[in-house]
Amino acid sequence: MLTTKPSILPAKSAALYPSNLSFITDLRVKHALGPCSTVARRLRVFSTSSTMANTGGGGEILPNALRRRIYPCWGGGFFSLGIDVGTSRTGVAIGKGFAPRPLTVLDLRGEKLEQRLIQIAEQEEVDEFIIGLPKSYDGKETPQSNKVRSIAGRIAVRAAERGLRIYLQDEHGTTLEALDFMIERGLKRSARKVKVDAYSAMMVLDRYFSTSGSEAELVLPKQLDLQEKLKKGVRR
């Protein structure tokens, strides 16, 4: 098993992997890219890849949601897997661009959880994980945040071997949003208790889509060979 700890790069400050909206906006102005320009349409050719140019030259590993916002004609990208890591269970949701849906709740921990999430990604044609990062009401990270970052780092190594990307998304308040959502749709208390983790993962994914991935943090393995695999993306 690899023991090298992965690094986690905020999209807003990553020098080699600039993926914030202001950078991309400047890029489009610089190259006069219209929403459906020839250059943008050519991105369809790279539908199985999440990068443009190489990392050493300042290339990007963009979240699918952000790429779709910048290049509306881009037809690439697979599904996104939303993950809510709880104290005892892990909720999973899935979506592609909009209308995410709850998928399942996993009562697993450690290596078994990591393996199962990779299996789900392969079964559901997923190319990126959106993992909820716990934060307090004032935006500060909590002790649980460190645990989630550690889990995300371990999954990132396994995922990168398959060309899958891992991002962290602020999940503050998503559990309450999930409960409100279920109540509005008439789910009974017993059903809410069983499904709340999956619906929380759905809310994490919904927040990711609604912000076009601009707040997502890329979890990047330190191993250069794994970074190369991320550049190539998942191929099916």
DSSP, residue by residue, 113-153:
HHHHHHHHHHHTTEEEEEEEE-B-TTS-B-HHHHHHHHHHH
Question: How far apart, in Å, are the Cα atoms of 210 and each of 65, 96, 215?
Answer: 9, 12, 10
The beta strands (E) that lie in the chain are given as 7-10, 51-52, 60-61, 79-85, 90-95, 101-106, 126-133, 165-170, 217-220
Pick from 166, 102, 105: nearest CA to 133: 166
CATH H-level, domain 68-232: superfamily? YqgF/RNase H-like domain (3.30.420.140)
Domain positions in the chain are 68-232
- Which amino acid type is present at position 146? N
Distance CA 170, CA 215 (A): 8
Provide the pLDDT confidence category of residue 10 given band limits of 50, 70 and 90.
Answer: very low
- Residue 145 banded pLDDT, cuts 50, 70, 90: very high
Q: What is the pLDDT of residues 31-60, one digit of tens each?
A: 444 556 554 444 443 333 333 322 332 346
The residue written with tokens 């890219």 in the block is 33
Give the global pTM: 0.77
